[in-house]
Chain A
């Protein structure tokens, strides 16, 4: 390497830090959407780097479906405690109790889609003018078209056909009253970049990402954890397997990977060798070819 070469992870990091500093400068009340998954953990790490030695100048916001892995919630609380950052939690259960959304029924019921309503209410209640998200363009094809600075109208909706052109490093966060932005600082990262960065920076992540024994069942080719509120179909049975999470989301739609990877090195090797996409295990994306686009238009993450 020559003297002023920079590797791809450092270049991506520099870009993400630049975007976070733009957010802190252009907006009055940002919030960082935090799920306890690896992407949001990396986002928080980048935010610490962007504003060090000052504290991160915005709170974390977690939309809790009530169907999360307990390990994720514990991890979230420990992280907030350790770094002295405010973590605001809003509950999908509250939106259900208020009659704003109706719980899905049947064996494939999931609260994943309901989160949108809770999220939009939270943004309004907290008067946030921007929500930082850990979405990446390599995750899903509708996301591949999303801007770093993504404008939302007063209903929180995304209009994919009418997005602002985004050139160079010039980000236009201008908006009218009642509108807000979603900003995605790690847009250009891939799953592999995230894992390599976690390894390079020695970032702590929940144990769910490493192999462990768990009672699981197979539904449409995807291994799922059986939480107490979930029902098995007739032909489904619980078996104990060595599994780990490749992504962490709502339990009802987070597919588990059969894996014995118990170190970051193992995980990186597994990601390098794997032949299916990260969201291949996400039941929420399988609902239709445009499932993500439709959810995003309504105001999803």
Chain B
């Protein structure tokens, strides 16, 4: 290997980690992101010059790193982040995608959107304020969307004299008032000062009592591979490939992204909802015909031993541990639209590669995301509201519980008049 190849071998073997940050300017969220980007050299000179100039023009004292992420004119004018902004940086270990979202309650739908694809969530706590209402809200959203890893960053430690007592008190408080109520697999705590860089990229000399990892080290080393489901085979069929070519005359492949399990040639499979059975003849990619195995999140094409009727919207699954097949679906929801839900209304529904229609049967309850109290009385559903509902679909869905598989357990409702995406759903058993 040449020196370059050795060097690049490292780059080419990086893993991808997606994480979400929720918060307002006051929490130091922008400062923290700015710090991660700046210290990992993901901010370029011309970008830095542009925001320095913009900060001066606005008469601001410090360079406002929020200007980096606020991409739309309206956001810059109002000085707020309205939408989800995606930012990218890399270290020699990993490539990171940050879904940066605003933190206020009126932007719950943006937080939910950012959380839907995240491997990890960063929750920011101001060390002077401790656990507050929005800490619970952000943690609840992370738990609702089943983000496997939560990193609680206790920020502004420089303003509490880097006190271990303050850190420990907030940690205990979080564990008692939040962790115990929510279902998060892995929660970590890091004391930081985003402004001064303590424990963000480099270890802090001001907090010798802390012997845990820095934030960046944690992000680089969280074990994420096993967050995917490698046990139960799920391949939602996206597209049927039938080349009209001589050399591939009889080729009939089912293209899709593996949503669960490890699929291998020879494996017995069932196609749902029809229930027809066959076995895997081959798993293909261009330049990689007849693969030994395919697993999430690979996009592949599978061929079956038998000619059976399969089309988009069907799911190829292993014989054991099959998913549920039903027209009656109960799911936790977040309403995403300014137009409220129509009780008993009909909506289009998107689930894996399947499009059906559905009717709203019942609103089971709503949750106050500031207190986690359930409300069984109020049946109205408007923007940003979270709860549980039951629907009936025109055709059966093939699904798993969202807690088990985030791909086969998630769905969207679409307004049939405007075509807008109005509701996110996480299927309950």
A residues at B contact (CB < 8 Å): 1-2, 4-15, 17-18, 21-22, 24-25, 48-55, 137-138, 140-145, 160-161, 163-170, 172, 174-176, 187-188, 190, 192-193, 196, 199-200, 265, 268-269, 274-277, 280, 289-290, 293
A277 to B285, CA, bound (A): 34
Contact check, A14 vs B298: say whether CB atoms are below 8 A apart.
Answer: yes
Q: Within the complex, which residue of B44, B82, B83 is in contact with A276, where a contact is CB–CB below 8 Å?
A: B44
Instruction: Fill in one digit per residue for B90-125: 1 if any A CB lies within 8 Å of its CB, else 0.
Output: 100011010000000000011011001100000000
In this complex, the member of A4, A54, A164, A168 whose beta carbon has the largest number of chain B beta carbons within 10 angstroms is A168
B interface, over-half SS: mixed
A4 to B109, CA, bound (A): 33
Beyond A7-B16, A50-B299, A170-B351, 18 extra complex contacts between A and B, CB < 8 Å: A5-B15, A7-B14, A8-B14, A21-B255, A25-B353, A52-B285, A53-B245, A53-B251, A142-B72, A145-B71, A145-B83, A161-B82, A169-B407, A172-B350, A176-B419, A188-B86, A190-B90, A196-B8
Contact check, A168 vs B420: say whether CB atoms are below 8 A apart.
Answer: no
Contact check, A48 vs B286: say whether CB atoms are below 8 A apart.
Answer: yes
Instruction: Fill in one digit per residue for B246-274: 1 if any A CB lies within 8 Å of its CB, else 0.
Output: 01100101011100001000000000000
Q: Which residues from B are CB-within-8-Å of A54?
A: 241-245, 248
Instruction: Tell me whether B366 is interfacial, beta carbon within 8 Å.
Output: no
* A-B pairs with lowest CB-CB distance, top 4: A141-B71, A52-B286, A54-B243, A167-B116
Q: How far is the CB of B425 from chain A (nearest CB, A)?
A: 10
Query: 25 A-B Cβ contacts within 8 A?
Result: A4-B230, A6-B295, A7-B13, A8-B95, A13-B299, A14-B257, A15-B297, A51-B239, A51-B241, A52-B284, A53-B245, A53-B251, A141-B70, A141-B71, A144-B71, A144-B85, A161-B82, A168-B406, A169-B257, A190-B95, A196-B12, A199-B8, A280-B44, A280-B46, A289-B54
Instruction: Tell me whether B47 is interfacial, beta carbon within 8 Å.
Output: yes
Instruction: Tell me whether B188 is interfacial, beta carbon within 8 Å.
Output: no
Q: Within the complex, which residue of B68, B71, B287, B336 is in contact with A142, where a contact is CB–CB below 8 Å?
A: B71
Q: How far is the CB of A135 from chain B (nearest CB, A)?
A: 12
Chain B: CB-nearest residue to A9: B12
A14 to B300, CA, bound (A): 8
Instruction: Tell me whether B129 is interfacial, beta carbon within 8 Å.
Output: no
Contact check, A137 vs B88: say whether CB atoms are below 8 A apart.
Answer: yes
Instruction: Tell me whether B193 is interfacial, beta carbon within 8 Å.
Output: no
Contact check, A53 vs B410: say whether CB atoms are below 8 A apart.
Answer: no
- A190 and B88 in contact, given A169-B407, A275-B45 (Cβ under 8 angstroms): yes
A163 to B113, CA, bound (A): 12
Q: Which residues from B are CB-within-8-Å of A138?
A: 88
Contact check, A14 vs B412: say whether CB atoms are below 8 A apart.
Answer: no
Q: How far is the CB of B236 from chain A (nearest CB, A)?
A: 9
A190 to B94, CA, bound (A): 13
Q: Which residues from A are CB-within-8-Å of B284?
A: 52
Q: Which residues from B are CB-within-8-Å of A290?
A: 73
Q: How far is the CB of A85 from chain B (nearest CB, A)?
A: 14
Contact check, B116 vs A168: say whether CB atoms are below 8 A apart.
Answer: yes
- A269 and B46 in contact, given A11-B297, A21-B239, A144-B85 (Cβ under 8 angstroms): no
Q: How far is the CB of A158 from chain B (nearest CB, A)?
A: 11
Contact check, B241 vs A7: say whether CB atoms are below 8 A apart.
Answer: no
Q: Which residues from B are CB-within-8-Å of A25?
A: 238-239, 312, 353
